[in-house]
Chain A
Amino acid sequence: MALLRLFWVQLTSMRTALLLLLTLALVAIPGSLLPQRPIAPIRVSDWKAANPAVADLYEAIGLFDVYGSPWFAAVYLLLTVSLIGCIVPRIQVYAKALRQPPPRTPKRLDRLPASVAGATALSADEALTAAEGVLRAKRFRVRREGDSVAAERGHLREFGNLLFHLSFALMLLGVAWNTLWSYKGEVIVVEGQAFSNNLTQYDDFSAGSQFKPANLQPFTIWVDTFTAKFETGEVQRGAARVFEADVRVAHGDGAPEEARIEVNHPLVVDGTQVHLIGHGYAPVVTVTDPEGNVAFSGPVVFLPQDGNFTSLGVIKAPDARPNYLGFEGFFLPTAVVDQQGPHSVFPDALAPELFVNVWTGAPREETGRPESVYSLTKDGLEQMTTDDGKVVTFRIAPGQAIDLPDGSSLSFDDWRRWTKLQVSSEPGLWLVIGAVGLAVAGMMLSMYVRPRRLWLRIVDTPDGPRVEAGGLDRAESSTGLADDVAELAASAGVEDAARTQEVGP
């Protein structure tokens, strides 16, 4: 029990809080220098492949997920407990202090950091009443007792301090709430297609443990056009300039309304945010099999691989007969072929081309097993060759079609843009933002309010009543104490107050 008590006293001491703060700063650093799995899983695998010597050790101690690791949680939880342990007793002290009148006038006012003494022409009662009036006008809390007046101001400083620390705890609460109930999903939508807010529609989805699929607001978004513009001038050539998606939104079963989504201007549908977070190209193709049937037709999403949107993708025609047909290759919005091979030199579609090779094999059985739409499973497939044994590979531009040796054909009809939408709900956000706002307000109060105590006493001397006044500041970095004391003495009728120098900085 005594040990527990000692632990508690240690934990809630300011020195421990200080060390915990510095530890928090220290342990947050590795996460900014190493790739983190929740943010960039692919970069984590790349990094581990490049540094095999330390990869396992780093993995074991959670360096690839610092902010979800137990030791990071330990530091901030200890800090929170320490903070609450610090603040609760202080709230009690503060509540008591609020109810107490200003402290009694000390015996020796001339020992205070600032003091003034002098004769007054007023009577003792007049002098005290005048001083009291001045103090009240300056919003001091005043206590008049016998031959003296005691005054105090600046309770808001400690209030601000407490508010700041409480807001900090409140913010953590908001973050926790948000983590439990929030969700975030991503979906790629090609121009002309639609998305309904339904779990099955997402390409990628993550949510807090309290999330239920019923929390998804029912709405549908049709992406009509997506506009992207890029810098064509000399400076920052190819940098993004405009991204806009013109959409129609229907709430539940309601009628669609037109809307526009831009970067920094998410669409808000029934409290759910829809962000534009990515885009790319989808060539529109038609695959005709040797029997003359259309085996596949429509846009195919290709994934950008670099800043100029050299995009990788596959076109699958599982229904082609007699053989399965698959195409693998690149979509290049501004195609150039040089020593590096085919690649794109500008992100906009100035000279789009498709570079593909063809895979073929026996038709596959429907297994019902999901298969990635971005990669071709090559089991049982082989590359198509010409009669003289050359691998079939070709480039075509929109509007062109190519006949393959087996009698099938691929026509590159057109291209469209696709956009990646992120749908997210963050129910605790307002609490987090409000708490930080309160914390800033509390911080200002605790730093700028200057608590001050002033006293004034009337002493009877043979020469008539004499005024003694003094003051004390309870905050560092305050100014004007001597002025306040002099003014107080003057209000009680002291004419040429023998001012003593204010001590200290």
Chain B
Amino acid sequence: MIEAYSSLPMVASAVIYLLAMMAHAAEWAAARRPVEVPERVLVGSGGSEPAASEPEAEHRVTLFGRIGVALTVVGALAHVVGVVLRGVAADRLPWGNMYEFVTSSLAFAVVFYLVLVWRRGWTWLGLPVTLLLSVGQGLAVTVFYVAIAPLVPALHSVWFIIHIVAAAISAAAFNVGAIAAILYLIRERAERKGTVRGYLARLPKAAALDDFSFRVHRFAFPLWTFVILAGAIWADYAWGRFWGWDPKETWSLVTWVVYAAYLHARVTAGWKGVRAAWLAVLGVVTFWFNFVGVNLLTVGLHSYAGI
């Protein structure tokens, strides 16, 4: 019974995120057309300051943006309710399989995004974040969905809470960090070519995007290290060895190594900036492969993590 009350808001949130994404897309499109402000001013302005010359057009842009954020708030409420009810219905923490992990992790991501919007006014994250949310929630409710079931004995452990919640939070952070890195790459290219206009003008300066991306990764990387450590300790309890080159373990190490390379690249001449940002993108790709590819394509001990 409660299971239905959990699925309904979850599906609703996927639809609402899609609508929010459309509103943000309209915001980008609207910002694209009318703005013909001298470029130098724009490059200097940065932040989320309005960049319009025509008040009416600017009004339309911010209106779409606000609709997007408002829809995201509604979607997030439905989403969080869905996750909580899933936990209540299953009588355990809601991250026992792929569906539950995606929805929980995206719930952390949307809350993180809304805090950034609330505290810093960073609505420029709107389009990529709602894109991530609608694709992620969409996949979760259509492809990954499984009915509630108790856990297999291998998951009966206090590490089930610690290991997986840390993984879900770092997942959220890695994704937001990658979004910032991609926006940095786009904005940096435009700045280099002197073509900062339209929506790009509403983004923070490339240097600030790079800095934000670093801060998110700086939070996520030690946490991810902890995820692997906690996983190793748990593996020792459950399987009597702390590292066995299981595909999931291997890929978590690959992800770790790529992010370690990212952090080193940031302080290496010739790798700072653009190349480092590409490493951050590569990092999130390995993360997603570990999550989707390893669960569905390979044979390993983490099979219960699959659909």
Contact = CB atoms under 8 A, between A and B. Distances in A.
A43 B298 CA distance: 12
B55 interface: no
Interface in A397-446: 422, 424, 426, 429, 432-433, 436-437, 439-440, 443-444
Residue in A39, A40, A43, A437 whose Cβ sees the most chain B Cβ within 10 Å = A39
Interface residues of B, number: 59
A32 B298 contact: yes
Contacts of A175: 243
B157 interface: yes
Interface string A250-279: 000000000000111110000001010100
Nearest to B153: A263
Contacts of A99: none
Contacts of A121: none
B250 A31 contact: yes
B211 A477 contact: yes
A73 interface: no
Interface in B202-227: 205, 207-208, 210-211, 214-215, 218, 221-222, 225-226
Interface of B is mostly: helix
Interface residues of A, number: 59
Contact of B152 (A33, A240, A444): A240
B286 interface: yes
B240 interface: yes
B88 interface: no
Interface stretch (B78-86, B143-151, B169-177): B143-151
Given A15-B271, A231-B149, A277-B239, A264 B211 contact: no
A440 B221 CA distance: 9
B214 A476 contact: yes
B257 A240 contact: no
Given A25-B286, A241-B153, A263 B238 contact: yes
A15 B270 contact: yes
Contact of A440 (B222, B233, B250, B266): B222
Interface of A is mostly: mixed
A130 B113 CA distance: 43
A477 B267 contact: no
A28 B244 contact: no
B261 A25 contact: yes
A505 B208 contact: yes
Given A33-B298, A263-B156, 7 more contacts: A15-B271, A18-B265, A35-B299, A231-B150, A277-B240, A436-B228, A505-B205
Interface in B238-288: 238-247, 250-251, 253-254, 257-258, 260-261, 264-268, 270-271, 286
A21 B245 contact: no
Interface in B7-27: none
Contacts of A426: 236, 241-242
A15 B275 CA distance: 12
Contact of B222 (A15, A31, A444): A444
B226 A440 contact: yes
Nearest to A439: B225
A43 B299 CA distance: 10
B286 A447 contact: no
Given A18-B271, A477-B214, A39 B244 contact: yes
Contacts of B221: 443, 447
B150 A433 contact: no
A419 B234 CA distance: 21
Contacts of B146: 235
B41 to A, nearest CB: 18
B162 interface: no
B229 interface: yes
B125 interface: no
Contacts of B215: 477
B258 A22 contact: yes
A176 interface: no
B135 interface: no
Interface in A180-236: 184, 231, 233-236
A463 B263 CA distance: 51
Contacts of B271: 15, 18
A22 B152 CA distance: 36
B240 A436 contact: no
A25 B255 CA distance: 8
Nearest to A448: B218
B296 interface: no
Contacts of B154: 263-264
A67 B245 contact: yes
A32 B229 contact: no
B233 A32 contact: no
Given A28-B250, A32-B251, A266 B153 contact: no
B238 A437 contact: no
Contacts of A15: 268, 270-271
A14 interface: yes
